[in-house]
Structure 1
Amino acid sequence: MTAADLNAGTRLTGALAGALVLSVLLVWFATGAFAAAAAFAGGLLVLVAAGFALVRLRGRGEPEGLAPPDWSVTVAAIERRGEAVAIVDRANRLVCANTAYSEWFGAGNAPPNLPLDRAGLEAMTRAAREAWRDGRASAECLRADGAAASWRAEAERAGRGDDYLIWRLTGITEEDFAEDIGARIAGPLGTLLSRGGIEAALVGADGLVRAAAPGFAERAIGDPEATLAGQDFATLLRADERERIFFAREGRRGNPQTLIHIPLGQQGDPRLPGADESGSLMLLIDSGVGIGAATEGAGPGATPQLESLLGALPLGLAMTDRDGRFLFANKPFRRAAAIEGAALPQFPSDLVVREDKAALVDAVRRFGKGPAAATDMALRLRGQPDEPVSLGIAGVRGLGEAAVLLSLVDSTEETRLKRQVAQATKMQAVGQLAGGVAHDFNNVLTAVIGTCDLMLLRHSPGDSDYDDIQQIRANSNRAAALTRQLLAFSRQQTLRPEVLQLPDVVSEVSQLLKRLLGEKIELRVNHDRDLGPVRADPQQLEQVIVNLAVNARDAMLAQGEGKGGSAGKLSIATRRVTARDVRHMGTEILPEGDYTALVVQDTGGGIPAEHLGKIFEPFFTTKDQGKGTGLGLSTVYGIVKQSGGFIFADNIPLPSGTATHGARFTVYFPVYQGAMPAPRARAAPEPAVQWAGGGRILLVEDEDMVRAVAERALVRAGYSVTTAADGEDGLSAIANGEPFDLVVSDVVMPGMDGPTMARAIRKLHPALPVLFMSGYAEEQLRRDIDMADMHFLPKPFSVQQISDKVGVVLGAQRGRSDT
């Protein structure tokens, strides 16, 4: 009620009260009797009170603004075809109902008291109580006495005061149970059962087939599209003398069948038709298909015996049931699947990566429920996601619960060998590339260094250009050092091996290492006794030790950044390794024999597992840009391999037991088995020989810049030089009869190379010496050329070096001719 309504009521009440007082005063004034006026006032008060009471009663019976309910409108609203609707009050009296309700139950019956059997009345009564309490309820399978029809009832509380229940009753359509079963087995359900080795057919009480699965039809008459309706079920099967059942069409060549007879009717259950009317469901199952089934003569111990047999075989074998669950796996299978020592997972799919799970699950279930067959699948195991393995899958029958046999070969060793071969092939290819790059780059550096030398002859130390030229020459020498590292990696550098003791080399380089490591890194050196001698280039071994020590220093300093005190410890040790020790290692990389090992170990953060296979590759580095070329370890690898040794890298836990690991490099050099040569003093370099009359030199070089620098250097030294751009031109100069004292030639040239030209020249002039210029190793050239009186000048060379080398060669030749 609003404020305006209150004000209006107050004014009306005031007006009535005023009129009442005025009427009483008028009666009193007209009669002059107080008793008459009082009686009149009392009568008016009674009339007013009766009016107020009547108004209040009418207001309570009907809310303001609402007309009395029109049930005809409600009946029109609930009129629905095929659904009975009734409305009752709290006394369960029928208030309203539609036509369907009146036809089904009669207008004189109100829910829940309907003409139903006892179970239906109890269900309706229970639903009514629940609906009044909870607001909604339902009852199922309501039947009248002796009637086959049934209903489903729903009750819902409604009304402004929740004073009514709305009942909705729908009829339940009865289906032909047997006909429904027949339609299902003739459709996808029958196909699914056939896939699992179960054939189904619906047979009537007269023994005739009413419906059959496609697989049953195919095995019975050879046509999966046939319905077989009306054919005698018994004629489709046959039994042998041992009463085993077969499909008549397959005969003895088929598998024995297990027949399961399922009557579809059941007496006493009104929801199922009678047994005489519905017929039976016939299931034919291949012997050994079901879980727990076994072939004839296979007792309960067949599976344990099979497991014992499979466990003794070297091939990795496992068995699963029809649902794909593991039953057994022998040790080779566990080892190949990288689960040796761990619990066997529930499914084979738990062994592979996520991308291969679905394919493996589908294959195992298909072979477990289908016919006996076999296949191979390429899968990736979780423990080895980068190496696919071949998993054999075979469906088996007659082995109890076992339905699928899995085979897996332990390819760990094969995978390791493949990786080693791939790594060796890759390193060989990169080495060839590095050697070719170094050779070409040496030609460029030869021209740069030679040009700088020629320019320095025209500039004195006080000249403004002198320092710039020296800077160019210094950087060129640095670049030449990089090419030497490339040649060391490609095992094409020149080595001068000696028979030596590793502790002596370590002692020579120890002082240098202390300066390189600094004060924050502690150096420890330890040597075994009775070490065997090795044959190697001492200078190259020093480079190996220095490179390994510098790498260890950088790793420990990076690990100890932000920490005070010592940054770590570097240990260098030499160890005696016997042939027995090599056998105990069990490695196929290191041939059996005696070795002297050099071990360089640090306390840094170790080498990440993903980098262990790449650290010896050229230009691979984990250092920040500008802090490493990536050639240090590749140079070490090349020097060790060229010296006939082996190098390994691994991580080791520190003795403190912390999670930090250190890196360890172990280099194995074969022990030298020959007699120890007597120590010899280093020979002094031979002085350059200059000839007063000079000499005639044939210079053969395909690079214009190198040829120009070498020509100017030799002319400046007093020689008469004839140049040729390739082997053909050089050979033509010799064939023309020009006398020469020496042939200076490059090795690699287009067309005719240097060695081919030299052999042709020797046929004309057998005593003519040849000086080869090359960026390749001298030992390799001597093995490839094998020519007498052949000399070698490595690139890049300076003006002074080529002049001195030519003088030495001519001097030696002149000395032999004089004697």
Structure 2
Amino acid sequence: MLQQELPLLDSRPVDGTSRWLMPAIAVASALTGAGLLWIAGAHTAAILFLAICAIALPAAAVLRRRPAGEAIDVDSLIAAPDYSLVGSMLSLTGDAAALTDQEGKLLSANSSYRDRFNARPPDKLPADSDSAQALSTARTMAWRDGGGCAAGIETEAGAFALEVERVGARSDLLLWRFLKPVPSDPVAVAVNRLRGKAGELLGRAGVLAAVVDGEGKLLSWNALFEARALTGFDRQGSPRLPDLVQGEEEEGQFRLVAEGDLARALRAVHIPLDPPAPADLANFYLFDSPDTLPVSSSQYLQAMIDILPIGLALVDRDGRFLTMNDAFRQAAGIKNTKPVYPGDLLVKEDKAAVADAVRRHTRGPAMSGDLAVRLARNPKEPVALTVAGLRGLGDASVLLLLKDNSEEAKLKRQIAQATKMQAVGQLAGGVAHDFNNILTAIIGHCDLMLMRHTPGDSDYDDIQQIKSNSNRAAGLTRQLLAFSRQQTLRPQVLQLTDVVAEVSHLLKRLLGETVKLVVKHGRNLGSVRADPGQLEQVIVNLAVNARDAMAATGGGTLTIQTYAVRADQVAELGSDILPIADYAAISVTDTGCGIAPSVLGKIFEPFFTTKEVGKGTGLGLSTVYGIVKQSGGFIFADSKVGEGTRFVIYLPVHRAEPEVGKAGVTAKVKEAELWGTGTVLLVEDEPMVRAVAERALTRHGYSVLTATNGEEALDILGKGEEIALLISDVVMPAMDGPTMVREARKSRPDLPILFMSGYAEEQLRKSIDLDNVAFLPKPFSVQELAEAARRAIAAK
């Protein structure tokens, strides 16, 4: 502990007046110093000055009461400051501010910091690696140089600019300030600039400037405009521009009402901030004197257009650039060289259209038009170019406004992509439905023929081959339905580790000798609710794609890993797509050739493949995407060319208790247990499906009545015959299955129902939301139909 003598301190008693005189002087000095800093604009420094005084004044009081010559423990006076008082001082600023020690521990923070960051230390705030590196650099600068800063620190609460200062009696503390950037609003930017230095410069140049909304109300103006145009008008009542000026707009000559009829004519320039603009968006007006400010040679012209936040350029009668602002250069990608003509910025195909538009607006009346053009620097992204004719601006005869709409174009592509995926999904679902009816008939007739043949017969193998190929075709339709998220899932509560362990034996055979399979399992994975068979298909599809990618490099390693992702970890990821919740994740990583960035955004599209013709259907990854999304999960792909690809699947944790006894495969029902009795009413509009279903049910002991539509089925039910089970297609012409069932239930409320359809059960869930209803997806075999009928009757 450092000890030092303070012999100059006076320890003599003091009277009442002098006892309060010194603290009063000290407090007054502190407030004066803080006030000067506040007036100078150093608000945080002023607050910090007060905080230091709040700590130092009590210490000074203690020192004054010590006897002369007595040793003073300085460290004891500064080791335990009142951080609650520091926090109160920091609350005087609207920025998020905090104080930390050398180890990064949060000592004090204002309410703005706590509300935004939940009182987390600054080191824990960055949401990505770049922000974390920038924050670390600013902190290092503060310890070394006394201060540091960084821009664009991404956090969960948004992006902030950062300022860090080294403070404290021993310079062992850090003061952090997180400054929220002001959103870029073109109107707000123009208003603020006109009220500041830009408006002052325009006034010195003799230019009157104002920002006006669509109704003509003035939003902002410079001092010269106020002095000349607002004399005699109510400046607090939102004056309107049409009330302040008079003249002919076509001629471009105006006079100020405040200066009378003998006032000198002024030239007006109307500049839209963001064309094509809605009616209520602000516009920018500039007024100058034609005989005092020749625009063609004015040194102030660049200052006029540079204050605008949109890309603006002036072109002469010959189509050459006169001048352009920084926003135009940035939007057009102009760096060092200055183009001569507007066509120099465009692709070859768009040069003629722009040159013709400039020529027409030069010679014709003052009007404007929009063109969609492609810049030479980025020919794939069209941009909006507005061409407007000018009058009364000297050599400038055409105004060009260039709008960088890359974000808008990106959004349009995303919408088009989503629309295309939805349309293809609807097409795939419809094709699969019709195809499933055909496959139901083929598979059913194969089963009926196999009942008359035994292994060894001449026709048995041929029939078995037809059935096998039909099942393969049924698998293809399931892929189409999986992509369009219309397949029928049988979700169960399960563990991802069990699914991976079950499928890993199959993967070893699929991958071959050149690919090494590595399986890693994390701990404390939550249960998920999904179809185990479909999850296995997801893993197999990803593994087969990885094997093909590694075949080009002679082999490699495929790593499958399962792990838990907590909600706080999801929050740290900062994803706009992934909701904050607990997930069980599975990653599939290969060391193959990787996927090019231009292709990565298309890999989940149906029928898109990078494989050679005949070696891929393009449905593998689209099937994976559909299964994951239909299971309520999310899938992300990350790849680097030459290094490999990583797919990560996030499935939400299911909080309900696992269903005991449903994790395994349903035991196969014996043929003898499928026989039944009673009358079954079969309603199916497809003759081939109706015929095979009737024969299958008859062979299993049922008496079958058939109907081709819902009306016929209701007529049969109206005859009063005892019906043990009603089997109906869902989608039928005229009256569909659910409508027919609702009418039948009015007279027979306990009638069991078995719906069958080539569409997915989830897709039809709203229409078949009835009591005591079972569902059988097409295509089905004779045995599956008999099993479903037996279960439906038994559940009565």
TM range, smaller chain? 0.5 to 0.7
Q: Distance in 2 between matches of 1:555 and 1:426?
A: 27
Q: Which of 634, 650, 674 is equivalent to 1:646?
A: 634
Deviations 1:362-409 (A, max 9, x none): 444665688765332221233554553321123457778866432222
The answer as to 2:357 corresponding to 1:374 is: no
- What does 1:406-555 correspond to in 2, within 5 Å? 406-525=400-519, 534-555=528-549
In 2, Cα distance between equivalents of 1:318 and 1:580: 49
Cα separation, 2, equivalents of 1:640 and 1:354:
45
User: Does the alignment pair 1:682 with 2:663?
Assistant: yes
Q: Which residue of 2 aligns with 1:789?
A: 772
Identity %: 60
Q: 2:605 matched to which residue of 1? A: 617
* 2:737 paired with 1:754: yes
Alignment pair present for 1:729 and 2:712:
yes
Alignment deviations for residues 630-650 of structure 1 (CA, whole Å, 9 cap, x no partner) = 221221121122122333445
Q: Where do 1:73-152 residues align within 5 Å?
A: none
SS in 1 for 2:771: coil
User: 1:767 — aligned with what?
Assistant: 750
* CA-CA distance at 1:593 after TM superposition: 5.7
Q: Does 1:330 align with 2:311?
A: no
CA displacement, residues 142-194 of structure 1 (integer Å, 9 cap, x when unaligned): xxxxxxxxxxxxxxxxxxxxxxxxxxxxxxxxxxxxxxxxxxxxxxxxxxxxx
Q: Which residues in structure 2 correspond to 1:138-287 (within 5 Å)?
A: none
SS at match of 1:782: coil
Shift of 1:695: 0.8
Q: Is the counterpart of residue 699 in structure 1 residue 699 in structure 2?
A: no
Partner of 1:719: 702
User: Could you tell me how far apart the structure 1 residues matched to 2:522 and 2:396 are?
Assistant: 59
Q: CA deviation at 1:770?
A: 0.7
Shift of 1:412: 2.0
Match of 2:185 in 1: none
Q: What secondary structure sits across from 2:723 in the alignment? A: coil
Match of residue 618, structure 2, among 608, 623, 630: 630
Rate the CA distance shift 1:780–1:360 in 2: closer, same or farther, 3 A: closer
Gaps of 5+ in 2: 1-262, 269-286
**Once the 2 structures are TM-superposed, how far is the Cα of residue 766 of structure 1 from its aligned partner?**
0.5
Measured at CA, do residues 732 and 371 of structure 1 come closer, stay the same or move farther in structure 2, by a change above 3 Å? Answer: closer
Specify the alignment match of 2:312 in structure 1: 317
Per-residue deviation, 1:318: 3.9
2:302–2:324 CA contact under 8 A, matched in 1: no
Deviation at 1:480, TM superposition (A): 1.0
- Compute the RMSD of aligned alpha carbons: 3.9
Is the alpha carbon distance of 1:673 and 1:627 closer, same or farther for their aligned partners in structure 2, counting shifts above 3 Å? Answer: closer
Residue of structure 2 in register with 1:135 after alignment: none
The amino acid across from 2:293 in the alignment is T
**Residues 547 and 288 (structure 1), Cα distance of their counterparts in 2 relative to 1, 3 Å cut:** same
Q: Higher Cα Rg: structure 1 or 2?
A: 1
Distance 1:692 1:415, change over 3 A: closer
How high is the TM-score relative to the length of structure 2?
0.57
In 2 relative to 1, CA 737–501 (structure 1 residues): closer, same or farther, beyond 3 Å?
Answer: closer
For residues 571 and 335 of structure 1, the distance between their equivalents in structure 2, rounded to whole angstroms, comes to 45
Q: How many residues are paired up?
A: 514
Q: Which position in structure 2 is the counterpart of 1:38? A: none
2:304 to 296, 303, 306: 306
Give the aligned partner of residue 47 of structure 1.
Answer: none
Contact 1:769 1:790 (8 Å CA) reproduced? yes
Seen in structure 2, the aligned counterparts of structure 1 residues 303 and 585 have a Cα distance that, compared at 3 Å, is farther
Question: 1:297-347 deviations in whole A, cap 9, x for unaligned?
Answer: 99954134225413xx2x33344566523743434x45544x387866554
Q: Report deviation, 1:763.
A: 0.9
TM-score of the two chains, using structure 1 as the length reference = 0.56
Quote the Cα distance in structure 2 between the aligned partners of 1:360 and 1:477.
Answer: 60
Whether the 8 Å contact between 2:676 and 2:700 is mirrored in structure 1 is no
Alignment check: 8 A CA contact 2:638 2:647 kept: yes
Cα distance change on mapping 1:375 and 1:803 into 2, 3 Å: closer
1:786-814 per-position Cα deviation (integer Å, ceiling 9, x unaligned) = 1100011121111122112212222232x
Report the CA distance between 1:678 and its aligned residue: 6.8
Distance 1:387 1:487 in 2: 34
Residue identity matched to 2:737: G
1:295–1:398 contact (8 Å) kept in structure 2 = no
Q: Does 1:810 align with 2:760?
A: no
Secondary structure at 1:377's aligned position in 2?
A: strand
Residue 672 in structure 1 maps to residue 666 in structure 2: no
In structure 2, how many angstroms separate the alpha carbons of the residues matched to 1:762 and 1:254? 84
Tell me the secondary structure at the aligned position of residue 393 of structure 1.
Answer: strand
Residue ranges of structure 1 left out of the alignment (5+ in a row) = 1-250, 257-286, 561-565, 654-659, 814-819
Separation in 1, partners of 2:667, 2:728: 23
- Equivalent residues of 2:313, 2:324 under 8 A apart: yes
Alpha-carbon distance between aligned partners in 2 of 1:388 and 1:417, rounded to the nearest angstrom: 13
Q: Which residue of 1 aligns with 2:94?
A: none
Quick check: 1:599–1:667 contact (8 Å CA) kept in 2? Answer: yes
Residue number in structure 1 paired with 2:145: none
| Aligned match for 1:740, one of 719, 723, 731 | 723
Deviation readout 1:646-682 (Å, 9 max, x if unpaired) = 33445424xxxxxx4644444444x337455476553
Contact 2:582 / 2:653 at 8 angstroms: preserved in 1?
no
Q: Distance in 1 between matches of 2:758 and 2:400?
A: 58
2:520 and 2:331 map into 1 onto residues whose CA distance is 41
Q: Which amino acid aligns with 1:628?
A: G
Cα distance in 2 between the residues matched to 1:340 and 1:497: 57
CA distance in 2, matches of 1:803, 1:297: 91
Secondary structure class of the residue paired with 1:810:
helix
Compared CA separation, residues 680 and 347, structure 1 to 2 (3 A): farther
Per-residue deviation, 1:359 = 2.3
Pairwise CA distance, 1:747: 1.2
2:486 match: secondary structure: coil
- Deviation of 1:442 (Å): 1.2
| CA distance in 2: counterparts of 1:484 and 1:387, whole angstroms | 38
Q: Secondary structure at the match of 2:614?
A: coil
The aligned residue for residue 44 of structure 1 is none
Q: Secondary structure at the match of 1:295?
A: coil
Tell me the amino acid that sits aligned with residue 431 of structure 1. Answer: G
